[in-house]
Amino acid sequence: MTTLRTPGPTLGVVGGGQLGRMLAEAASPLGVEVVVLDPTPDCPAAPVARDQIVADFDDEAGIRELAARADVLTFEIELADQDVLERISEDTGTPVHPKPSTLRTIHDKLVQKRELEDAGVPVPPFREVEDADDIRAAIDDYGAPVMLKARTGGYDGRGNVPVESKAEADEALESVAGPAMVESFVDFEREVSVIAVKGDDEVATFPLGENVHVDEILRETIVPARSSDAAAERAYDVARDVLEVMDGRGVYGIELFETPDEEILLNEIAPRPHNSGHWTIEGAANSQFEQHARAVLGWPLGSTDLRSPTVLTNLLGDVDEEQRAELGDIDRLLETPGANLHWYGKRQVRPLRKMGHVTVSAEDEDADVEDLLETARKLEDAVTFRN
Amino acid sequence: MTTLRTPGPTLGVVGGGQLGRMLAEAASPLGVEVVVLDPTPDCPAAPVARDQIVADFDDEAGIRELAARADVLTFEIELADQDVLERISEDTGTPVHPKPSTLRTIHDKLVQKRELEDAGVPVPPFREVEDADDIRAAIDDYGAPVMLKARTGGYDGRGNVPVESKAEADEALESVAGPAMVESFVDFEREVSVIAVKGDDEVATFPLGENVHVDEILRETIVPARSSDAAAERAYDVARDVLEVMDGRGVYGIELFETPDEEILLNEIAPRPHNSGHWTIEGAANSQFEQHARAVLGWPLGSTDLRSPTVLTNLLGDVDEEQRAELGDIDRLLETPGANLHWYGKRQVRPLRKMGHVTVSAEDEDADVEDLLETARKLEDAVTFRN
């Protein structure tokens, strides 16, 4: 049986960006404390964390200090170094969740796809790329375009290059420094995601979200997704199969393609709370951040039930060049019933940087998500980054 | 128009107990930082506040430091010293909300009742007590029992003494050290409260809560209250009249009696977020803590709409003597859909000390609050303070 003590358990979190900040906000009501490690002094999580250790994500001394202060280690960025985490966890006895082996699998998209395919998870056709001939062979097999992906290091679409024809293969491969893989381009009906939680001996999934990306960066998530019940059920099944492959407790963001014939294919996995799950703070019974805290501690999971249909819109840096962060004209946003602001506290705004987000939640369960989406877009349009 | 900057505005809060902690949790998504002043090292708010200044609530040097770091000063305890706050605010130019003059009014229950009566707020019959004869005269006028109250320093029922007969008058007066007043005992149908927000040029009220007290300490709040619509409307009218008397922005907890003939009478006012408003974190569109942050900063208020019927139950120290805080058997609480835990992080548990609270929110708007109340009581019964 779980027991609360004071001071409560401490989560040691590698990374102190907005995910760490929202994790600290959600951990506090449970009596759980958060210490973050992040190289940026006064990182977004710092004002609400117990402490920040200023160190690089793979800094061994810093992570040892984090492990010494924590009851469990976790991470909010895939850039966490699995080898360092594994070694320090073994040395100190402080567990890491999700497990470093999961990071290792996810870090290499080719390894990831192979393991998932072996486990029966539906993935788009893919192959390893050793030279440009492999890309041309993929175009022969799958048809153009294909998606060339760096095997490691990419996120928010970085390292992904669409290849429209065989003639582009050499140039595309050059633009992806390092090992690569190629995937069939999925002509999807919509992009969706399942935020899934792996607990001690239970799993849970949040209601399906529908994601709108522009330039491969998430702009909006609409919940519930405008998918059929059958497609949603398939997505939950795929998410549960994915969790079988993942080792260690925690929240996983599982991005999926839904095809025109309502098939579900895996796109990407993030072994952490995910941008497309931020709607859960207002829209679900217990948020993805609370669930992550519970899961990594080995506590019982909470309810993932929908509280009300909710649309999330990101506040991206709508500026031409880096400058001091200043978002004006937020009155309408603050005044709109059902709207909630989340500002991440980043000092500088850069083009397309994630500076915050807004959710718009319905007042009743039968609300039309189209109306929520319209409201969210108007609110996002009304705010302005000052130059 | 309101503008967000990073670092955001800082609230300097006198007091760092659970109210300060929940204020910090709610301020963070708005990009608002919190610094608290509290004499207890590592007070409940410390893990989620930017900083704690360890100093007594009336420590002039400490409050000067707080004012220097803050854009606006506020307080989470009535014990804040109005004179010190007023002087430091004048010296430093850092505004205080609510205004110290409001604290001055509220601190003296006799002054408070007189000002409110003058403003047309319905209050139970009362009179000043200079000696025991005044108590006996009150019994003649109002009938027994009457309620003898210390004019200053009381909260959670401390300093309130029911007087059943004239024979008890002398002894009762001795037990109340210092100036006193006496009030007609209200034979109420139920106790209710309105959490009201005074903004820059707007006021807002949360839906009426029904409060269950035992030994004058709040045990449960039921929302919506089981009052008629007419009684609820009268309560909102009274709350708005009370805000007219209060000077300065912020959240006010307004405790009321509802009589068997559905009249509303004022009981007590807290010039701060109130225990009977903790349900708003899950149950309302924007919580009392978020509204307090918005109000004191002069930002637009958010929506006070009900999200779903919600019952709050306090986790009071169910122990015989002071000991290290340890609450066991919380699994059922963690697993119950709609239940949310708030643990305040106090090191020591004492008999009847407020250690945390639980809310149980309905899944749909037509839910029966009786069912929620039953669930909340079972959850509260299931947890155990370990000896």
CATH code where residue A34 lies: 3.40.50.20
Q: Does residue B301 belong to any structural domain of this protein?
A: yes
List CB contacts of B118: < 8 A, sequence separation 6 or more. Answer: none
What's the mean pLDDT in B342-364?
A: 95
What is the predicted pLDDT for the residue at B156? 59
- Token pair for residue A135? 């890309």
What's the mean pLDDT in A192-197?
A: 98
| Residue A264 pLDDT exceeds 90 | yes
pLDDT in tens, A46-70: 999 999 999 999 999 999 999 999 9
What is the predicted pLDDT for the residue at B64? 98
Q: Does residue A229 belong to any structural domain of this protein?
A: yes
- Give the single-character DSSP code of A262: -
Asked if residue A181 lies in contact with residue A151, where contact means CB atoms within 8 angstroms, the answer is yes
What's the mean pLDDT in B257-280?
A: 97
Number of Cα atoms under 13 Å in the Cβ half of residue A14: 31
Q: Which of residues 35-54 of B touch A (CB under 8 A)?
A: 42, 47-48, 50
What is the predicted pLDDT for the residue at B386? 81
Residues constituting chain B: 387
Share above pLDDT 90 across residues of chain A, in percent, rounded to a whole number:
91
| Residue A357 pLDDT exceeds 80 | yes
pLDDT bucket at B250, cuts 50 / 70 / 90: very high
| Shared-domain flag, residues B151 and B267 | no
Say if residue B213 carries a ligand binding annotation: yes
Single out the residue in B144, B169, B184 at which a domain terminates. B184
| Shared-domain flag, residues A151 and A250 | no
Site of tokens 């500076």: A355
- Token pair for residue A308? 């009300």
Domain that holds residue B130: 125-184
Residue B291 or residue A364, greater confidence:
B291
B341-368 in b/e form (b: 16+ CB < 10 A) is bbbbbbeebbeebbbbbbbbbbeeeebe
C-alpha span between A218 and B145 (Å, rounded):
66
What is the predicted pLDDT for the residue at B155? 59
| Shared-domain flag, residues A262 and A375 | yes
Q: Does residue A321 belong to any structural domain of this protein?
A: yes
| Residue A106 pLDDT exceeds 70 | yes
pLDDT in tens, B67-86: 999 999 999 998 889 999 99
What is the predicted pLDDT for the residue at A379? 97
- In chain B, DSSP finds a helix count (H) and a strand count (E) of 12, 22
pLDDT in tens, A126-142: 999 999 999 999 999 99
- Look at A326 and B3 and tell me if their CB atoms are within 8 Å: yes
What CATH code is carried by the domain that includes residue B218? 3.30.470.20
pLDDT in tens, B93-139: 999 999 999 999 999 999 999 999 999 999 999 999 999 999 999 99
pLDDT bucket at A78, cuts 50 / 70 / 90: confident
By Cβ distance, the residue of A285, A338, A341 closest to B29 is A341
| Residue B364 pLDDT exceeds 80 | no
Question: What is the complex's ipTM, to 2 decimals?
Answer: 0.96
C-alpha span between B382 and B328 (Å, rounded):
9
What is the predicted pLDDT for the residue at A100? 96
3-state secondary structure of A359: strand
C-alpha span between B157 and B339 (Å, rounded):
28
Share above pLDDT 70 across residues of chain A, in percent, rounded to a whole number:
98
B145-170 in b/e form (b: 16+ CB < 10 A) is bbbbbbbbbbeeeebbbebeebebbe
Chain B residues in contact with A317 (beta carbon < 8 A): none
| Residue B157 pLDDT exceeds 70 | no
Residue B112 burial (10 A CB sphere; 0-12, 13-18, 19+): buried
| Shared-domain flag, residues B132 and B252 | no
Q: How far is A335 from chain B (nearest CA, A)?
A: 5
pLDDT bucket at B366, cuts 50 / 70 / 90: confident
Share above pLDDT 70 across residues of chain B, in percent, rounded to a whole number:
98
Asked if residue B252 lies in contact with residue B270, where contact means CB atoms within 8 angstroms, the answer is yes
- Look at B331 and A1 and tell me if their CB atoms are within 8 Å: yes
What's the mean pLDDT in B328-337?
A: 95
- Look at A325 and B5 and tell me if their CB atoms are within 8 Å: yes
Domain count, chain A: 3
Chain B residue nearest residue A330, CA to CA? B2
- Give the single-character DSSP code of A332: H
- Look at B25 and A30 and tell me if their CB atoms are within 8 Å: no
- Token pair for residue B10? 């800082």
| Shared-domain flag, residues B243 and B272 | yes
| Shared-domain flag, residues A222 and A142 | no
pLDDT bucket at A37, cuts 50 / 70 / 90: very high
Q: Does residue A115 belong to any structural domain of this protein?
A: no
| Shared-domain flag, residues B152 and B88 | no
pLDDT in tens, B232-244: 999 999 999 999 9
φ/ψ (deg, to 5) at B291: -65, -35
pLDDT bucket at A153, cuts 50 / 70 / 90: confident
Q: Nearest 5 degrees, angle CA A280-CA A283-CA A287?
A: 30
What's the mean pLDDT in A33-51?
A: 98
| Residue A114 pLDDT exceeds 90 | yes
Chain A residue nearest residue B48, CA to CA? A48
Single out the residue in B96, B115, B142 at which a domain terminates. B96
| Shared-domain flag, residues A230 and A362 | yes
Q: How far is B374 from chain A (nearest CA, A)?
A: 19
Within 10 angstroms of residue B227's Cβ, the number of other Cβ atoms is 21
- Look at A300 and B338 and tell me if their CB atoms are within 8 Å: no
| Shared-domain flag, residues B364 and B274 | yes
Q: Which of residues 292-311 of B touch A (CB under 8 A)?
A: 294, 299-303, 305, 307-308
